């Protein structure tokens, strides 16, 4: 029986949608920590594209971008896969049947030398081919090697090349007198004969391409010499003519009956829901599975779907449903490491949940290294340092704590970096908008927040230079009016934060969006929406809006 592949036990460490530098770098560092502590297969992933800032950080420290994973719904690779080896299309039908019998499998994948799937053959296909095959020209049509014929008949090629193929002609049973054989045999035929030398000679002289001598009868030297001179292949078999005639068509190469058109196959990444739908429309029991490189991997059956296991996740830098990767409801959340407010996400059972009021998830991850008596590798330390600097706006944000400051100093020392210079270089790279679309800028750090029936979509970018800030405004402003409908929220905002001045311009979309901001921050009814001292979406902007909404609800009761 084929080896079975258990469902993948990878545990995905993943941040929120539209990931920022903290989300990406915390996932990388926490996956490394878990691998070092547990030896498990923890894999850093991302639920969206990298921002320019984050891409610069990864390049700066020579780190690979986490694996893109935009949906964690169950996939074919999450079920038990039977690692049945593929077979060559050149094996005989008889060999194929033996393999199916020995492996207890009813569908056989056929692969090339490069490991790519060429087709499949089912037990039903073989049965139909055997029972319905009355075509005496099958061996020629299938370009059957003479070695296949000898192997199937438990014999041997005693004259001729086993690799040479039968390319035309019929299968004849050379019964009767030599005259009857001579009258029936045509050029290129294969003739089954007994021990009579005259019958053997007659078949050869009439142009037979191959003569099969049954019952292991002696083949005289003069017959051998005649066969060589006429280019006729001689095969000796212990079978009598009845058994030889019965089995001979099983020497056809498997490729002749191969199903290769409209082939039903799955990738490891095929959504399980799609696989179930396809399986329900076909008679096949087993289905081939290809790996990420398109090479044959194994087979699955409907029965395997009963043993599926959910993906295992560790969430970093978020704990709200709206920010989770698609398909999270069907996954098994094992841990959450975060520094935001506790949202409405629910789990099926108790999990490890670490949530601290610090400026960055990276700070918590750095703490956890220390608690284990470990230190991150220099490259990972540098990435974590950037994550803290990014989330705290170079330690200027009101979310920044003494723990964040100490974290930055220790991580910068491990990475051999000056934190102030590192932060400036990072933000300058992030605010370079050359070649970027308005949509990319709008959604590079966009999150949805909910409180009761209120839902707000809020994006933010931070800048050191006024020119970059103006350029971002020009790109985002035309797109913002369509943002609420596109994201299923009532109001949408975009903060253009000035790191040096410590304030934010606010763009808005949706009915009453400007009035809500003015109410929340006590701004006059006219004039620009500029919030001096407001640089934190999480700690300043969102709480103020939510409180204003609650206040309105109380007043309207």
Q: Convert the pLDDT of each residue in 433-473 to its tens digit.
A: 888 899 989 998 898 888 777 889 999 999 988 998 999 99
Does the model's pTM come out above 0.85? no
CB 105 within 8 A of CB 285: no
The residue ranges of every structural domain in the chain are 3-74+311-430, 80-129+256-306, 143-251, 438-556
pLDDT tens figures, 210-236: 999 999 988 999 999 999 999 999 999
Fold category of 80-129+256-306 in CATH = CBS-domain (3.10.580)
Average pLDDT over residues 121-139: 79
Q: Which class would CATH give 438-556?
A: alpha beta
Residue 335 · residue 364 · CB < 8 Å: no
138-197 residue pLDDT tens: 899 899 999 999 999 999 999 999 999 999 889 999 866 788 888 888 899 999 998 889
Element (H, E) at 379: helix 378-391
Retrieve residue 446's tokens: 């966009």
pLDDT > 60? residue 93? yes
Three-class SS of residue 176?
coil
Say if residues 379 and 62 touch (Cβ distance below 8 Å). yes
Long-range contacts of 194-202 (CB under 8 A, 24+ apart): 194/241, 197/223, 199/174, 201/226, 202/174, 202/178
**Phi and psi torsions of 47, nearest 5°:** -95, 15
For residue 296, pLDDT over 70 is answered with: yes
What are the tokens at 488?
């299923």
pLDDT mean over 197-201: 92
**pLDDT of the residue at 395:** 94
Superfamily of structural domain 3-74+311-430: inorganic pyrophosphatase (n-terminal core) (3.90.1640.10)
**Contact predicate 313/328, CB 8 Å:** yes
Q: What confidence tens digit (pLDDT) does each residue in 10-34 have?
A: 899 999 998 999 999 999 999 999 9
Q: What is the tens place of the pLDDT at every residue in 490-546?
A: 999 999 999 889 999 999 999 999 999 999 999 998 888 999 999 999 889 999 999
Q: Which two tokens stand for residue 245?
A: 């005639």
DSSP H or E run through 545: helix 542-556
Q: Dump pLDDT digits (tens) for 338-396.
A: 999 887 788 888 999 999 999 999 999 999 999 999 999 999 999 999 999 999 999 99
pLDDT value of position 132: 60
Say whether pLDDT at 239 is over 70.
yes
pLDDT averaged over every residue in the chain: 90
pLDDT value for 133: 63
Domain spanning 143-251: which CATH class is it, in words?
A: alpha beta
Name residue 165's beta-bridge partners: 145
Which of the four pLDDT bands, split at 50, 70 and 90, describes residue 301?
A: confident
* Mean pLDDT, range 256-285, rounded to an integer: 82
pLDDT at 176: 66
Q: Looking at per-residue confidence, does 44 or 299 come out higher? A: 44
Query: Which residues does 98 contact at the CB level (< 8 Å), separation at least 6?
Result: none
Residue 17 parent element (H or E): none
- Tell me: pLDDT of 556 over 90: no
Mean per-residue pLDDT, 117-141: 81
Asked whether the predicted pLDDT for residue 267 surpasses 70, the reply is yes
pLDDT for residue 4 is more than 80: no
**Which of 145-159, 247-261, 269-283 is most confident?**
145-159
């Amino acid at each position: 029986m084929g080896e079975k592949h258990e469902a993948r036990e990878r545990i995905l460490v993943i941040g929120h949608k539209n990931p920022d530098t903290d989300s990406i770098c915390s996932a990388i560092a926490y996956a490394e920590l878990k691998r070092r502590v547990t030896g498990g297969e923890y894999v850093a992933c991302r639920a969206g594209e990298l921002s320019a800032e984050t891409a610069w950080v990864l390049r700066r420290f020579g780190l690979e971008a986490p694996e893109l994973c935009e949906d964690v719904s169950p996939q074919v690779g999450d079920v038990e896969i039977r690692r049945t080896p593929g077979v060559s299309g050149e094996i005989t039908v008889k060999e194929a049947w033996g393999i199916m019998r020995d492996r207890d499998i009813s569908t056989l994948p056929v692969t090339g030398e490069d490991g790519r799937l060429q087709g499949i053959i089912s037990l039903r296909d073989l049965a139909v081919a055997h029972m319905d095959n009355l075509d005496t020209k099958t061996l020629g049509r299938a370009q059957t090697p003479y070695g296949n014929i000898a192997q199937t008949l438990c014999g041997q090629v005693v004259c001729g090349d086993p690799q040479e193929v039968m390319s035309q002609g019929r299968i004849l049973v050379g019964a009767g007198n030599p005259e009857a054989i001579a009258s029936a045999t045509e050029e290129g035929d294969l003739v089954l004969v007994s021990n009579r030398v005259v019958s053997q000679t007659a078949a050869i002289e009439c142009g037979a391409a191959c003569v099969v001598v049954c019952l292991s009868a002696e083949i005289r030297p003069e017959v051998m010499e005649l066969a060589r001179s006429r280019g006729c292949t001689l095969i000796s078999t212990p079978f009598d003519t009845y058994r030889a005639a019965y089995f001979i068509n099983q020497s056809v190469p498997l490729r002749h009956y191969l199903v290769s058109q409209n082939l039903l196959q799955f990738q490891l990444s095929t959504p399980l829901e799609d696989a179930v739908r396809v399986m329900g429309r076909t008679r096949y029991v087993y289905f081939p599975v290809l790996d990420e490189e398109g090479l044959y991997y194994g087979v699955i059956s409907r029965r395997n779907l009963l043993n599926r296991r959910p993906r295992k996740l560790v969430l970093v830098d978020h704990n709200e449903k709206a920010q989770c990767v698609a398909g999270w409801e069907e996954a098994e959340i094992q841990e959450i490491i975060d520094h935001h407010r506790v949202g409405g996400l629910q789990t099926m059972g108790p999990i490890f949940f670490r949530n601290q009021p610090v400026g960055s998830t990276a700070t918590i991850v750095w703490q956890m290294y220390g608690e284990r008596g470990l230190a991150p590798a220099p490259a990972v330390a540098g990435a974590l340092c950037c994550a803290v600097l990014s989330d705290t706006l170079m330690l200027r944000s009101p979310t920044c704590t003494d723990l964040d400051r100490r974290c930055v100093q220790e991580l910068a020392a491990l990475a051999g970096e000056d934190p102030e210079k590192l932060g400036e270089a990072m933000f300058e790279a992030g605010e370079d908008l050359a070649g970027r679309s308005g949509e990319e800028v709008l959604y590079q750090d966009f999150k949805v927040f909910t409180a009761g029936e209120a839902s707000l979509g809020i994006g933010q970018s931070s800048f050191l230079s006024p020119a970059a800030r103006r350029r971002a405004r020009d790109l985002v402003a035309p797109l913002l009016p369509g943002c609420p409908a596109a994201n299923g929220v009532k109001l949408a905002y975009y903060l253009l934060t000035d790191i040096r001045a410590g304030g934010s311009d606010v763009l808005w979309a949706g009915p009453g969006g400007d009035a809500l901001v003015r109410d929340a921050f006590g701004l006059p009814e006219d004039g620009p929406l500029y919030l001096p001292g407001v640089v934190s979406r999480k700690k300043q902007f969102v709480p103020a809006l939510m409180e204003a909404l609650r206040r309105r609800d109380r007043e309207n009761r």
